[in-house]
Structures are given as structure tokens and as C-alpha cells.
Structure 1
Amino acid sequence: MIPEPALPARPTPLAARLRELVAEAPEAPAVSDGDTRLTRDELDRRTDRLARILAARGVARGDLVAIALPNTVHHVATSVAAWKLGAVPLPLSARLPAAEREAVLAVARPAVVIEEPLEPSTTDDTPLPDVVGPSWKAPTSGGSTGTPKVIVAGQAACTEHVLARADGLRIDRDGTFLTTAPLHHNAPYMFSLMALLQGHHVLLMQRFDAARTLELVAEHGVTWLYLVPTMMSRILKAVPDDAWGGLGSLRTALHVGAPCPPEVKRAWLARLPRPEILLELYSGTESQASAMIDGRDWLAHPGSVGRVTRGRMRITDDEGREVPPGVVGEIWMRPEDAPTYRYLGAEPRARDGWESLGDLGSFDEEGYLYLADRRADMVVVGGANVYPAEVEAVLLGHRAVDDAVVVGVPDEDLGRVVHAVVRADPSTETALRAHVAERLSRHKRPTGYTFVDHPLRDDTGKVRRAAVAAAVPDRSP
């Protein structure tokens, strides 16, 4: 059973929140995907009917409802229908390979798996009895290992819990929210639903299109834009410098999910109407703590992901001793009060009440956090630590490179050395080697390059580094 979090004295169920929005402006757009558009009233009525269908399939309060649908209004509507029963939506990729899917389902054991859009088979759209579910979401994560786990949010399905962070994320009232990434990933899913509950028109891209993104911002007056560094880089390459003039409606463009190369960040800051529009968030799906920085602050502290804005963080060495500013160590987090999540299928990496997601970094004297890399990704070259993110940022700074992933490969002399898998024309290797040599110490430079013409990351910037490393040609003599 999903644990019951402590509730406020008079919690507002999410269904009641939606009814409030309907009462304010029933014909206002709630969610659209380019093909279908639902007003607030239409979404509320449809999800009452869908909830009755789920209930007929045996879904009850506290059950997990797996949603394996594409980025359409049906995905959002199914999540809302689950809330109306007190059930917990569990978003899954609609294209998950069979083996991975079965592994996730074995861990989650959902009451139902929704693989096709639910079509209302009842005309009964009267409001259901209000209920507050024990959690409002349960996204999955395989991390870099591919081992599935479900991360059940520690916040109940009530407005007070779900929107507690909305102001800090600048998800204010009644804007237009552009969802550019798949809803089976936690961040776009979480932010989209928070925006929906704040009265935004949630505009879903069924598939990310770099050139189309900024067109949608201009056409719909988008106020809040979700990004990851991979998208930011692709947009820069797809959109001419003179075609960035339609961003006047933007209040926030938030990026998350992976380190952003400094050249990419600076290019975005130069093109946005104001640098403070760009907001970077560092946190995990587990949400024990977070750090944040806007573009203006980043220009004063380049490379930082900001100061801690929620929860607590500290950095330690391998023996668990806290390290001074400027020293790289493992980042440990803890929430201020109540637990923020619970795993199904995994145990946290924990020590004395603190938890780690495996990230490495350092604080400066002012409390600004700088990420190094994930502990599991670090490459030890002849006893020296090399952080792939640093090397990747240099490679991505070359205009010929669409993407780059750096891995460690065995070396008879040094133990391991750096190898770069690059999405670029192989004819650029000489220029890339010269570019890297000007910017990195010798032990950090890739000793070998593999050139590919296929994507290395998904649209959220995630990469299965072990799979990339496995595809590197054998270098043994």
C-alpha cells in the first residue's frame, strides 16, 4: 500500500480544484495537442466519464494506473480521471520495449494498464464524490543502469500539496504552457499537470520539433516553456538568428535534466528578451532538495546550477566527511520535513538520514552549487578523475557537433581513457582534436572518436551511457 501523507486540515481534492477553474472560465482552453482541444468544462466532464470507466475496471483509491499513451490530450485526461478516483497515475512510454515494460509492471503491479485512449462509454458526467488520493503521481526511472524503479510522490493528490512549489517554479495563474517533451518523463509530466491546475492552457507537442517550438511560442503566446539542453542546442541550430523575435510572451523558459554546455546557455541568454526568463533547476524525481538559478544570476556565476532553494544539501568525500568550498565530492540531500517520495523496486543510497542520487559537485564560498558529473560516469585516467560532462561541454561547443557522449574505455597503461562518441561528420575529427586540445588538459582529451549519424540522447537529454560504451569498437591489441 502507498503510505498516507499528513494532510492539511481542509484539503482541496484535485477534482474540486478543476471545478473551481471551470466555474471561473468554462470555455477557456485546458489542454490541446494540435489535433484535439478541450476546454476546462469539456475536460472536467470527460474525465468524470473516464473515471467511471476506470472504476468499472476495478480501479479504486490508492491503486496505480499505468498510462502508456503518446503525448495527447488523452494522456492528461486519463491522469485526471485517475485522480478523481483517488488512484495514482503512473506514466509509461508508449514505445517501451516489451522486456522493459514487463520489468516495470512487475515492480509497479498497477490495477490497469491504459494503452489505447479511453473512449467514454457512459454519458454520466455528473461530478463524482471528492476523494484525496495518497499520492498524485508515480513516475518510473531506470537511471543509467536500466534497472526499473517506481518513484511514488510523497505529496497527496490535493491542491495544497501539488501546488506547494508552483510559485517557486513560476507556474503562476492562467498562462500558456508548452510541453515539448514526452509525458512519461517526470519533469514535463509534473510541470504540465501543475500548470493545468493553475489554469494554464497546456499545449502538448506530440513530438519535439526544434524549428516548430519557437513558432508555437509566438502563435499561442506561450508564457512557460519546458526545455532540456539537448532541445536548446537543436533549436539554436534549427532557428536562424533573425527568427527569435516572437518570444515576447515568455515569462519563463525552464531547463532541467542534464548539464547545459556554457556556449548553449550563453547563446540562449543572448537571444531571449531578458536573461532572467531562463531558469535552471537541479533536482531529482525524488525531490528531496533542489537548487535553482536564473539567467542573470548565472552570468554572474557561470556554470552554477544555483543556490539551494528547497531542502538541504551537503557535499562529502568517500568517507562521508563534509568537504570545504571548491572541493568536488558527492552531493547528499534531505528534505526539510516530510518524506518526498517512496521507491518501489529499489532502495535509496542513504547515510545518516541523507540520500544521494549519485551526483558529484562542489559549492563555492557563496553557496552556489556546481555539478561535476555522476559518480557512476566518472572516468579515472591514470589516477586522475575525469568528468564526462566537462568533456562533452567542450565538444558541444564546436559548431560541427550535433551531440556528444563521453565514456571510459579500458587502456593497458592508464587503466581507462576517455573516448568520445560524436554525432558529426567524420571529416571533422582533426578540427575537433585541435578544438579540444586548446581547452582541456591532456588526460581529459578523448584518445579515440566514434562518429555516428543517429541520436545519442532522448528528447529529455537522457543517455544510456553503458549502452553507448558497449557500442564503442574494441580497442584491444
Structure 2
Amino acid sequence: MVTGFPPISTQVSALAAADPDAPAVTCEGRTLTRAELDASTNRLARAYAERGVGTGDYVSIAMGNSIGWVESVLACWKLGAVPQPLSARLPDVEFAAILDLVPRALVVGRPDPRGVAPSVPADFVPDAALSDAPLPEAVSPVWKSMTSGGSTGRPKLIEAGGDSRLPAAIGYPLGMEHGDVNLMSVPLHHNTGFTTAAAGLLLGHHLVVMPRFEPDEFLRLVTEHRVTYLATVPTVMQRLLPVYRADPDAYDLSSIRRFWHLAAPCPPVIKQAWIDILGPEVVWELYGGTELQALTFVSGAQWLRHPGTVGTVVAGEMKVLDDDGDECPPGVVGELYMRPAPGSSPTYRYVGSTAKSRDGWDSLGDLGHYVDDGGERFFFLSDRSVDMFTVGGRNVYPAEIEAALAEHPDVLSCLAVGVPDDDLGQVPYALVQAGTELSESAVIAFLAERLAGYKVPRTVEFVDRPLRDDAGKARRSAVRDEVISRARA
């Protein structure tokens, strides 16, 4: 694939040559300049090459958010290798299942539990005798390969459709500008973090990396570094609100020019709160999969006209189909299908799975509908098809219950699932992490004022941990299975 653009690594090196002393990445009080990042990754790439990494080879990076993570990915690109990020906390069985999908030249951050691929630890330091001079230019045939368990729980890889000759302009539609200060608050091994970091490197951003999300630290870093750009997830937005509201004068968020959220449905009350804090011109939302067949954007101003919408299609094509494959009219819920614009190149390739498709249109398993407004289609999400359940024959979407729970000021995180019931087939069951003492009856009464009776959970279980990870993801099927098994015990 010929693009006319140099590979990512070459562009990053050019930025370092143009402004060597500009900050490139900061984490836990340590900062590397562009020149230091360029030099350290040249040396690291040579260390990886000594261990057999070359063009087209897969390198799995199982590290937490850190400067070392950024260095490892950039070193891969400098060798023309394929960076494949993984959570450092995966159980060995799941980790091995992902490694089994394709051969790995190297595993960074932890040993290969199968004992097959060579590895280096997370704190690996290359031999100081290795040169940090520029390397020959190399092109990664796949610029990223992300993991997904999907709704089946079986791991798969989602390879990007293009190589590492990416234009820096990929960040422009997202409102990125050269030299932004970019706060990385979500796990870098997830697509949101990985892609935001990559686009930021191409545009000479100062990446301010949080090793783990903590609300007060997030707000402090925005204030200290005058953060101008960030992409985060609704879980983070919800956890931030109690801390910010407790002492808003302690933080200065006025530097933020663009605040994106994505990766999971955002409860309207949480979205409205951030529009009130930052302004509708600052808060934007993106909907689409790692597969990138199509994308929707919505500004805060558009959302205020159509509360709950994920926006209009800005790339590719999208439609809503019923169970028979016929297009749904406006306002009717069906399954969302999408595809790249006709004639364009494929945007992804699955390894270990196949897409759910109808006549060249792919589904990510999301349910939703659209409304027409002056010739524009504004799309709305209901839930994932695998998460929907029925109560006495009536459809219930967990996201609707969770959005209502999020309206309670003392709810920090929540999850709703359907559990078996002898009379109705299934009934709602809610898990809640609360910031103060709450009773089950109080929560049920709160929801009864906001939801139809059949949607109100019969049981509310209180937990002392977040119910979604820092990327906004939840293993709903595993939670449901655990709840059912406890009920049967």
C-alpha cells in the first residue's frame, strides 16, 4: 500500500529534529523530550532486533500505562514490527489464548506462559553500548493489532487495515492541533488510548500519561499541565464528578479545548453535567468500533438538540436493520450495520474470528435507531443485542437502567443484568457501587420514579469496587453468570 506519507516513526523523528527540547511524554513526574524519546527508542529498537524482531513481526506489549509503554510501541514501529498491546493483568489462560492466535517475536512486560516466545520484563533497560543513532526506515505492514473478546468471550485480534504510513492529519477531524497537551487517562492497551496516543505522537503532542486513573490526579494534571485535548470514557466522567463538585475552585479546566468521550454509552445526566462544566463546544462524542467501518460524531450543541444521540455519520455508512434484514424506519429499534464508503480499502482484518455481516455490511452487535432532522440522520444506541433481555416478553435494555441509576448523585458505578425468574423468564438485577450508604429500598424507589415497573430491578446488590474498568468496559456475561451461580448455591 503506497500512501505518500513516511511511516509513523520517521515522522516522530522529524518532529524531534525540528524541536528537540519540546516535551514528548510525561508520567509520574518524569518527562522525556522529543529528542530523548527518539534516542531511547532507537536504542530499544536495536535491543528488540537483537532478540529477533524484524519487519512484520508481532510484538505483544503487556505493560501498564507508562513512558516505557510509549517507548515500546515506538520501537516496534522503528523496526517495522506490529505492536500488539495487551492488559498486563490478564490471567495466564487468557493471555496464552491471545498469544496462540499468531506467532510472536517478542513479549514485553511478562513471560510467555506457554514458554514459546522470548520476553523482556516491563523494566527492561537496553545495553547502554547499543547505538541510539537513527535506524533505517521501516514500514509496519499493520500499524496496530488490538484485542477483543467481543460478546462471545473468545479472543480475537483486530488488525488495522493500513500500514504505518499514516498521515498526521488523522487527528484533524478529531479537533487535534499541533503541540496539544494530551491527557491519557484510559488504558493504553485499549483502542481509545492506543489510537489517541499514536495520533498525538504524529502531531507533536505532549502526552501526559496517567499510570492509573484517579479522579483528583486527573483534575490536578489538567490544571498543572494546562491540558488542551483528551479522549476518555463515561466511567471516568462519572467518577470525576463527585470530586470536582466537592471543590470546583481547586481545579482549572479552562484550558480544555476538546473533550472526547467514547467506547461505551454515556448516561445523559453525566453528559449534561460535563456540558454544563466545559461548554457544548468542548464536549464531543464518537461512536464506532475498533474495526473503523464507520464513525459518528456529535458535538455538545447537537446533543442538546437531540439528547442521547451519538451523532451523525462522518465516515463510512450506517443503517438500521430488523431481524429480516429490512431497513427500519425512523424511531424503530433494530441492529446497526455499517461499512466503509464504497470503493475504499478494508479498514480491518479479524484474526481468530469472522464478522457478522449482511451483504457486505458489518454489525458490532449494537441495537439502536435514528431520527431524521433536516436531511441528517441522528443515531441513538439502545444496547448490545447480546445484553438485551426480556421480562414477560418485553424487551429491557441494561443501558437504560444504568442511565437511570447514574442520575443518583451517590452512585459511582453500576451494572444491570437479567437473571432467571420462574414467572417472567428474566428480571432485572442491579449491582451498584455507592459513594455513601444507600439502601436497596431507596435505590428501587428512586428507579421506580424513572422507569416502567418491569424495568425496575427486583434486587440491588452493593459492591465496594468499580463495575467497569478504566476503559469503560464491563464483562457483563461473567457478572451475570456469577450472580446466577451465587443464587443457586
Same fold (TM over 0.5): yes
Q: In the alignment, which residue of structure 1 is the partner of 2:317?
A: 312
Code of the aligned partner of 1:439? R
1:410-450 per-position Cα deviation (integer Å, ceiling 9, x unaligned): 11121111111122367422221121111111121112222
Who is 1:169 aligned against?
Answer: 174
- Judge conservation of contact 2:219–2:251 (CA < 8 Å) in 1: no
Q: What is the rounded CA distance, in whole Å, between the counterparts of 1:476 and 1:327 in structure 2?
A: 38
State whether structure 2 residue 139 is matched by structure 1 residue 128. no
Q: What CA distance in whole angstroms lies between the structure 2 residues aligned with 1:129 and 1:101?
A: 33
Alignment length, in residue pairs? 468
Q: Corresponding residue for 2:481? A: 470
**Is 1:341 paired with 2:341?**
no
Which consecutive residues of structure 1, in runs of 5 or more, have no partner in the other structure? Answer: 1-5
Equivalent residue for 1:95, pick from 89, 93, 108: 89
1:108-127 to structure 2, matched below 5 A, reads 108-115=102-109, 116-121=122-127, 122-127=129-134
Match of 2:97, SS state, is: helix
Say if 1:476 and 1:125 are closer, same or farther in 2 by CA, change over 3 A.
Answer: closer
Of 408, 418, 432 in structure 1, the residue corresponding to residue 428 of structure 2 is: 418
Q: Give, in whole Å, the separation in 1 of the partners of 2:339 and 2:58.
A: 26
Q: Distance in 2 between matches of 1:108 and 1:32?
A: 33
- Asked whether 1:369 is paired with 2:388, we answer no
Residues 83-126 of structure 1 deviation map (CA, whole Å, 9 limit, x = unaligned): 01111100111111111111111113221101123312133122
Give the structure 1 partner of residue 25 of structure 2.
31
Q: Tell me the secondary structure at the aligned position of residue 134 of structure 1.
A: coil
Q: What is the alpha-carbon distance in structure 1 between the residues aligned to residue 169 and residue 368 of structure 2?
A: 27
Distance (whole Å) between structure 1 residues aligned to residue 250 and residue 267 of structure 2? 20
1:78 aligns with 2:72: yes
1:151-300 equivalences in 2 (<5 Å): 151-160=158-167, 163-239=168-244, 240=246, 242-243=248-249, 246-272=252-278, 274-300=279-305
- CA–CA distance in 2 between the matches of 1:421 and 1:101? 28
1:448: which partner in 2?
459
CA 132–476 in structure 1, closer or farther in 2 if over 3 Å, else same: closer
Which of 2, 11, 24 pairs up with 1:7? Answer: 2
Matches of 1:318 and 1:101, distance apart in 2: 35
CA shift for structure 1 position 26: 0.5
Where do 5+ consecutive residues of structure 2 fail to align? 110-121
2:249 and 2:350 map into 1 onto residues whose CA distance is 44
Q: Secondary structure at the match of 2:483?
A: coil
Cα distance in 2 for residues equivalent to 1:178 and 1:388:
30
Q: Secondary structure at the match of 2:310?
A: coil
Letter of the 1:362 partner, please give it. Answer: H
How far does residue 23 in structure 1 lie from its aligned partner after superposition?
2.2
Cα separation, partners in 2 of 1:340 and 1:257, compared to 1, 3 Å? same
Instruction: Tell me if the contact between 1:50 and 1:118 (Cα under 8 Å) persists in the aligned partners.
Output: no
Note if contact 1:62-1:133 (Cα within 8 Å) is conserved in structure 2.
Answer: yes
Distance in 1, matches of 2:39 and 2:228, equals 27
Paired letter, 2:202: L
Q: Which moved more, 1:324-333 or 1:245-254?
A: 245-254
* Deviations 1:393-424 (CA, angstroms, capped at 9, x unpaired): 00111122221111111111211111111223
Q: Distance in 1 between matches of 2:250 and 2:337?
A: 39
How well do the aligned residues superpose, as a CA RMSD in angstroms? 1.6
In the aligned structure 1, how far is the partner of 2:169 from the partner of 2:57?
A: 24
Q: Which residue of 2 aligns with 1:323?
A: 328
**2:114 alignment partner in structure 1:** none
TM-score normalised by structure 1 residue count: 0.95
Residue-by-residue CA offset, 1:22-69 (whole Å, 9 max, x unaligned): 122100011111243111111111111111111111111111110111
- Paired residues for 1:53-72 under 5 Å: 53-72=47-66
Q: 2:393 aligns with which of 371, 374, 383?
A: 383
Q: Contact 1:144 / 1:465 at 8 angstroms: preserved in 2?
A: no
Asked whether the equivalents of residues 288 and 333 of structure 1 are also in contact (C-alpha less than 8 Å), the reply is yes
> Partners of 2:30 and 2:96 in 1: how far apart?
31
Identity of aligned residues (%): 47
- Most deviating of 55-64 and 232-241: 232-241
- d(CA) in 2 for partners of 1:112 and 1:92? 13
The residue matched to 2:271 in structure 1 has which SS? helix
Contact 1:145–1:464 (CA under 8 A) maintained in structure 2: no
User: In structure 2, the residue corresponding to 1:78 is in which secondary structure?
Assistant: helix
> Partner of 1:184: helix, strand, or coil?
coil
The counterpart of 1:48, out of the listed 21, 37, 42, is 42
Change (3 A) 1:241 1:293: farther
Q: Which residue of 1 aligns with 2:403?
A: 393
- Cα distance in 2, alignment partners of residues 475 and 84 from structure 1: 53
Is 2:416 aligned against 1:406? yes
Q: What is the CA–CA distance in structure 2 between the aligned matches of 1:464 and 1:449, rounded to whole Å?
A: 18
Farther-moved stretch of structure 1 (197-206 vs 240-249):
240-249
Kept after mapping to 2: 8 A contact 1:144/1:463: no
- The one-letter amino acid paired with 2:367 is L
Q: Does 1:433 align with 2:439?
A: no
Residue 174 of structure 2: SS of its match in structure 1?
Answer: coil
Find the counterpart in structure 2 of residue 3 from structure 1.
none
Distance 1:279 1:181 in 2: 17
- Quick one: distance in 2 between partners of 1:242 and 1:46? 39
